[in-house]
Structure 1
Amino acid sequence: MDSIIELRHLKTLLALQETGSVSLAAKRVFLTQSALSHQIRALEQHYDTPLFERKSNPIRFTPAGERLLQLARELAPLLATAQRDMAQIIEGEAGELRVAVECHTCFDWLMPAMDTFRPLWPQVELDIVSGFQADPVGLLLTHRADLAIVSEAAAQNGIVYQPLFAYEMVGICAKDHPLGDKAVWQAADFAAETLISYPVPDDMLDLLRKILLPAGINPARRHSELTVAIIQLVASRRGIAALPYWTVMPYLEKGYVVARQIGHTPLQSELYAAMRQDDADKSFLDNFCQIVRERSFAELPGLSPLGKP
């Protein structure tokens, strides 16, 4: 049989397998849902067989779909290696990548991504700008950093963004706290509580910016620099907190605290990689973002893809 398989088809199949849904896969490969469905239909019509079961959740591939998925898994690392080799041949292997972060929990996924990146780009000097950065984009503009991890893709001259991922923020409380009896917390549930958070401005806390302040609620505060200290304070009923699900999952498994959904539509936060527009075509920057996405989706629970900002 003649083949119509293209690399874009294989990337789509991988995205379907990794996300488990057509809508999330479309975001992952930066297509509309209808465009992604059209790709799949074209393959199915060519081979005259379905590739996955339409009503399964998550997606369950047919034997034909599994065979194409196997091909995608085999070719993806070969293609990535060839693209990286071509970039190093054409652009050179050397460079500097100083990473600034405004997120206290970023190191959970940033360090593994850096470990993967280093042997692939040995001539690139990779470093983290020390300390928590309240204005990482400012460090880009003054050439004190080369890539910044930020929670908003705010339009700014000379700065471009790559989407990394979205994740759920959950409310956590002690096991015997009254809020533990509620499946979903609303803004009013925080009014009489002490909110334990990292010592950052209010506009950098999505719980405050998206949920509490619009509802006119500004609870009492207590701060800690360390995630484990926040967990301990919550477990001791010194207050409640909102943290990424991937951060609190190990403590949930040990029974230290309980987690609850915030809002009828779960509270989502986003992460983007910001860089100078003049550097946006550097292959090692693009590859670093790709590695971050791949490692994070493979290892962190509860992530969802972001479209282009």
Structure 2
Amino acid sequence: MGILERSHLTIIREVAREGSLTAAGARLNLTQPALSHAVRKIEMQLGVKIWRREGRTLVLTQAGQWLLSLANRLLPQFSLAEQRLEQFANGERGTLRIGMECHPCYQWLLNVVSPYLERWPKVDVDVRQKFQFGGIGALLGNEIDILVTPDPLHKPGLNFTPVFDYELVLVVGHGHRLYGTPSVTPEQLASETLITYPVPPERLDIYTQFLQPAGIAPRQQKQIETTDIMLMMVAHGRGVAVLPRWLVDEYAPRFDLHALKLGDEGIAKQIFLGRRETDDDIEYLTDFVKSASEPGAVV
């Protein structure tokens, strides 16, 4: 049995990604014959079949699938380690990579990031919204350093800090039949077009905490990525939306919007910042969490 090397994991990942030796070779700057030789050499070194042929396609064996899973976990950590070492060598602090699972939180994030960059002139900030394994997986897999989420999933090795509370409300435009009413029932949304961010219904609180328990579904759902366009659509009577009350209060004067409580009790939520426990000694990271938790950071 030979020694498993980083280059082996890189080849396994790229062949799986591209689906062919030719395409994978192009990404790895190897010719197809050279990559074919490398593939055979890996299997000989490790003493196990990693691929099997199905026509012209290479399919991973059970051992290959396990190695691919290992590659997806370890290779981002190798890249992060090299990046951090290069930053230390160049006298830099690093890059704080923030993952967003809260679409309407960008305005809040801007309020936090601006003074943070002033305090940490040698730290860059990168914001990511699409993850290979979802937000929690991205945090565990070192794709990101901080996860902004309303739905923490507590796992060993992760810490979640609550940074602010908010209420989800229904938003309607001036001409809507519910404009001016204090609250809404699930039944009143059965005939509505619900405008949401591009998130699956099973991850939307309006469905999981309000509509589905009552056995209700909206007449139609439309997905829109940007908050401004979403609220413009609501203001022009194209549907209703569910957003944090603080965000609606900010936009209400511009679009003549009205916020309704969802049911008699409303839906209370919190925003959390998740991070890895192993990063607790990184000063610029813990400072971001501390500053984001201060009352002045809330919109």
| Fold shared, TM-score > 0.5 on shorter chain | yes
Q: Which amino acid aligns with 1:160?
A: N
Aligned-partner SS, 1:177 = coil
Shift in Å at residue 214 of structure 1? 1.6
Residues 116 and 231 from structure 1, CA distance in 2 versus in 1: closer, same or farther, beyond 3 angstroms?
same
Shift in Å at residue 256 of structure 1? 2.3
Higher RCO (CA < 8 A, seq sep 6+): 1
Quote the residue 2:248 is aligned against. 248
Quote the residue 2:234 is aligned against. 234
Residues 125 and 233 from structure 1, CA distance in 2 versus in 1: closer, same or farther, beyond 3 angstroms?
closer
Aligned-partner SS, 2:154 = coil
The answer on whether the counterparts of 1:109 and 1:292 sit within 8 Å (CA) in structure 2 is no
Aligned-partner SS, 2:198 = coil
Q: Note the alpha carbon deviations across 1:70-129, whole angstroms, 9 max, x for none.
A: xxxxxxxxxxxxxxxxxxxxxx98343211101111110112211111222223333222
Aligned-partner SS, 1:106 = helix
The answer on whether the counterparts of 1:172 and 1:241 sit within 8 Å (CA) in structure 2 is yes
Residues 298 and 201 from structure 1, CA distance in 2 versus in 1: closer, same or farther, beyond 3 angstroms?
same
Quote the residue 2:276 is aligned against. 276
Q: What is the correspondence of 1:56-71 to structure 2 with a 5 Å cutoff?
A: none
The separation in 2 between residues aligned to 1:161 and 1:254, in whole angstroms, is: 35
Quote the residue 1:174 is aligned against. 173
Quote the residue 2:137 is aligned against. 138
Q: Note the alpha carbon deviations across 1:9-62, whole angstroms, 9 max, x for none.
A: xxxxxxxxxxxxxxxxxxxxxxxxxxxxxxxxxxxxxxxxxxxxxxxxxxxxxx
The separation in 2 between residues aligned to 1:132 and 1:145, in whole angstroms, is: 11
Quote the residue 1:29 is aligned against. none
The answer on whether the counterparts of 1:96 and 1:146 sit within 8 Å (CA) in structure 2 is no
The separation in 1 between residues aligned to 2:253 and 2:297, in whole angstroms, is: 16
Shift in Å at residue 276 of structure 1? 1.2
The separation in 1 between residues aligned to 2:263 and 2:238, in whole angstroms, is: 22
Q: Which amino acid aligns with 1:267?
A: I
State which of 289, 292, 296 in structure 2 corresponds to 1:298: 296
Q: Runs of 4+ in structure 1 displaced over 4 angstroms?
A: none
Quote the residue 2:209 is aligned against. 210
Residues 132 and 270 from structure 1, CA distance in 2 versus in 1: closer, same or farther, beyond 3 angstroms?
farther
Aligned-partner SS, 1:225 = coil
Shift in Å at residue 140 of structure 1? 1.4
Residues 255 and 122 from structure 1, CA distance in 2 versus in 1: closer, same or farther, beyond 3 angstroms?
closer
Structure 2 residues not aligned, in runs of 5+: 1-90
Quote the residue 1:89 is aligned against. none
**Which structure has the bigger radius of gyration?**
2
Aligned-partner SS, 2:98 = strand
The separation in 2 between residues aligned to 1:96 and 1:174, in whole angstroms, is: 41
Quote the residue 2:146 is aligned against. 147
Shift in Å at residue 190 of structure 1? 1.1
Q: How many percent identity over aligned positions?
A: 31
Shift in Å at residue 299 of structure 1? 6.1
The separation in 2 between residues aligned to 1:126 and 1:140, in whole angstroms, is: 16
Quote the residue 2:121 is aligned against. 122
The answer on whether the counterparts of 1:98 and 1:128 sit within 8 Å (CA) in structure 2 is yes
The separation in 1 between residues aligned to 2:120 and 2:297, in whole angstroms, is: 22
TM-score (norm 2): 0.64
Q: Note the alpha carbon deviations across 1:155-206, whole angstroms, 9 max, x for none.
A: 2232221111111111111212111242111222211111111110123222
Shift in Å at residue 255 of structure 1? 5.0
The separation in 1 between residues aligned to 2:194 and 2:142, in whole angstroms, is: 36
The separation in 2 between residues aligned to 1:136 and 1:99, in whole angstroms, is: 10
Quote the residue 2:5 is aligned against. none
Aligned-partner SS, 2:265 = coil
Q: Note the alpha carbon deviations across 1:244-273, whole angstroms, 9 max, x for none.
A: 122222332235221111121121222111
Quote the residue 1:71 is aligned against. none
The answer on whether the counterparts of 2:97 and 2:127 sit within 8 Å (CA) in structure 1 is yes
Aligned-partner SS, 1:157 = coil
Structure 1 residues not aligned, in runs of 5+: 1-91, 302-309
Residues 291 and 94 from structure 1, CA distance in 2 versus in 1: closer, same or farther, beyond 3 angstroms?
same
The separation in 2 between residues aligned to 1:256 and 1:182, in whole angstroms, is: 14
Aligned-partner SS, 1:250 = helix
Residues 243 and 97 from structure 1, CA distance in 2 versus in 1: closer, same or farther, beyond 3 angstroms?
same
With 105-114 and 284-293 compared, the bigger mean Cα shift is at: 284-293
The separation in 1 between residues aligned to 2:112 and 2:298, in whole angstroms, is: 12
Aligned-partner SS, 2:292 = helix
Q: Which amino acid aligns with 2:269?
A: S
Q: What is the correspondence of 1:77-88 to structure 2 with a 5 Å cutoff?
A: none
Residues paired across the two proteins, number: 207
The answer on whether the counterparts of 1:167 and 1:269 sit within 8 Å (CA) in structure 2 is yes
The answer on whether the counterparts of 1:103 and 1:132 sit within 8 Å (CA) in structure 2 is no
